[in-house]
């Protein structure tokens, strides 16, 4: 018993004298190494497979139309088919009625990263399902 107490007391000193780090230290260092290599590897892979100077290519498609009290919401899905990021992407929806009159609504999306999709919405007074609706991305800025 007395020896155990003595051992505990000298625990702090003992810690300093040991040359071998505790098992947990090895485990967390291994996890850290794994994560470090994963992050570096993924970034390097992306860097090598990277933009290749190709500009962002954003496609807009209508994903859903929902009637609301004030009219209709057209949800638009933006898909960037290039690996370059597009910033400040402006989208426009044009609703053309059968009599030839057209109304447009626009929205701006802060970022559409490469190979990613982002969603936006456009509001219309008339039912887009009963008229001709065209959505497209108007332009972007480089981030």
Partner 1 sequence: MASQAANEHPNRKYAIGLARAFGGAIIFGLPNLMTMEMWFLGFYLDRTRLILFLLVNFAILVGLSRFSGFEETASSKEDLLDALAAYGVGVIASAATLTIFGILLPGMPLGEIVGKIAVQSVPASFGAIIARQQMRGKTDEEEDEERDVAERRGGYGWQLFLMVAGALFLAFNLAPTEEMILIGFKMSPWHGIALVLVSLLILHAFVYGVGFAGQEQPPEGSGFRRVFISYTIAGYGIALLVSLYVLWTFGRMDGADLTQIASMTAVLAFPSAVGAAIARLVV
Contacts with partner 1, residue ranges (CB under 8 A):
3-4, 7, 11-12, 14-19, 21-26, 28-36, 38-40, 42-44, 46-47, 50, 83, 85, 87, 110-111, 113-117, 143
* Residue 51 or 121 having the CB closest to partner 1: 51
Distance separating alpha carbons of residues 78 and 56, to the nearest angstrom: 12
* Residue 7 or 127 having the CB closest to partner 1: 7
- Closest separation in Å from C-beta 15 to partner 1: 6
φ/ψ (deg, to 5) at 33? -65, -45
- Closest separation in Å from C-beta 72 to partner 1: 26
Q: What angle do CA 74, 75, 76 make, to 5 degrees?
A: 115
* Residue 40 or 138 having the CB closest to partner 1: 40
φ/ψ (deg, to 5) at 142? -75, 140
- Closest separation in Å from C-beta 110 to partner 1: 8
- Closest separation in Å from C-beta 36 to partner 1: 5
**CA-wise closest residue to 72 among 114, 18, 21, 133:** 133
Supply the DSSP symbol for 99: T
* Residue 4 or 68 having the CB closest to partner 1: 4
Q: How many CB atoms lie within 10 A of CB 95?
A: 23
């Amino acid at each position: 018993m007395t020896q155990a107490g003595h051992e505990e007391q000298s625990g702090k000193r003992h810690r300093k004298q040991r040359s071998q780090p505790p098992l947990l230290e090895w485990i967390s260092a291994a996890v850290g190494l794994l994560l470090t290599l994963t992050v570096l590897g993924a970034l390097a892979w992306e860097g090598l497979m990277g933009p290749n100077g190709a500009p962002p290519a954003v496609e807009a498609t209508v994903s859903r139309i929902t009637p609301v009290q004030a009219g209709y919401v057209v949800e638009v899905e933006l898909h960037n088919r290039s690996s370059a990021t597009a910033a400040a992407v402006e989208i426009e929806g044009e609703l053309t009625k059968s009599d030839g009159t057209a109304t447009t609504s626009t929205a701006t999306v802060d970022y559409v990263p490469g190979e990613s999709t982002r969603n936006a919405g456009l509001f219309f007074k008339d039912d887009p399902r009963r008229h001709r609706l065209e959505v497209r991305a108007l332009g972007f800025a480089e981030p």
